[in-house]
Structure 1
Amino acid sequence: MSGSSIWEPLREELARWREAGKVARFWWRDDDAIEPTAALDRLLGLSSAHETPVTVAVIPANTGPALSQRLSGTSGVSVAVHGWSHENYASPQEKKQELGGHRLGEAVLGELYEGFLTLQRLHPARFIPMLVPPWNRIDDSLVPKLPALGFECMSTFGRATAGAAIPLLNTHIDIMGRRADGKGPRVGRPHDEVVSELVGELQDRFEGRNEPVGLLTHHLAHDETAWKFTEAFLSEANNHQAILWKPAAELLKDQMSTT
């Protein structure tokens, strides 16, 4: 399938939205930021070139003033709390978790509070009170206690659960995946697969599901396949009247005003 024809299903779906006078809301989250890197420069360059806001999930324990200084000259970038140290406490037989039930809840919550204060101090103009659990996993018992720490929302992956203890602003499209043999680091997924998922998410919204579509990227892990998809999708999206990119803070305000 040629590069152009890969995008035809998305273009056809967006044409349906435009004809119906509907606009799909999108937002963009990128995980695992720590410090200035060439990959971060590339990410911020795409955000700027396409005038697309991005929420950078920063690992508090491993970051410092260098990242704050790098972001100081950018626009459209917000900072969320990506756990504390992104350390896995699960057993080898379990899926990776930092915020699971493997430690005392008080210890986990204490680290999250420290992470909240750290990023609020380092990024006062960009900080949003959002928790992004590492690996998109958190023990259910911790969630109701997040508002007492100052968190106003949480972002994981997949359809947001109705009646959650804290507002959810989730991601739904992960451009990274495992290799066919399951070995080695994650790689950029085939573009046609991701486009198919995008169309499916849009079809859900067209039928009335009131949830923004969240794009998930990981700048430090991207190969060229992932970078090329990100750039191509931003180009497609910014050229269409049926897509509106919104900052996470605005989406949170919209959500709180309707609850």
Structure 2
Amino acid sequence: MMPQDSMTSAVQKIAKQALATFRIPSLVGEHNKVFMDNQNKLKSLLAEVRAVDLKIVPRATESAPVPPARLVPPVTYMHIYETDAFSMGVFLLKTGASIPLHDHPGMYGMLKVIYGKVRISCFDRLDKPRDGASGVQFNPPLVPLQKSSLRPSVLRSVGEYTAESGPCVLSPQRDNIHQIDAVDGPTAFLDILAPPYDPDEGRDCHYYKVLHASSEAADRKSEAQEHGDLWLMEIPQPSEFWCGGESYPGPKVSL
């Protein structure tokens, strides 16, 4: 039993644990001890994974994309495995590339850098604005349609992650909206989402722009974020961002 287990690939172990963690939706939640124990096991496995385990060779540093770099996607994705419970793959970002601010509706996620460095900025929507969008001022002024798409928000964290860092974790309630920027060269990370994106199930990806509002509350710096002086406005997918695909060279997953 021991030799067989020792030969199991790291990515197979991660996929198996991801399935155990997310396979029963009714048991998924931060108040369920079994779920939290399984999630912690998954985080521990992810913390140990390296590019060599996925047979991915770190890309050499290249010059930053220069418009119009439409011939080469700034970001590519290697699909590894997907079930109804979770999806797993690797995102590769070129020097200077970003995955714009986007959400993961009703989803959990884990991101583990396997080479390079990323900066991740995480936001949360607030439950409700102080008095609706009418109580704040934007420069330039917004048209009514733009105001209707505004959501009060808070910046939860900005952090840099390398292959030596632990996973970055998001939940439906916290750190669910984030932007990912390549820092100091190309980078790649293993990504798990549970459940996967599915527009038919209401899990479509939305993109956002951060707006800073001016108001009386914003003048009181200690209270500014409490009162929601940051707003997210939903926007179309930015034209400078698109994601290509490439083949995954690592060990196969079978569940």
Structure having the larger proportion of residues in helix: 1
Structure having the larger proportion of residues in strand: 2
TM-score, reference length from structure 2? 0.25
Larger Rg: 2
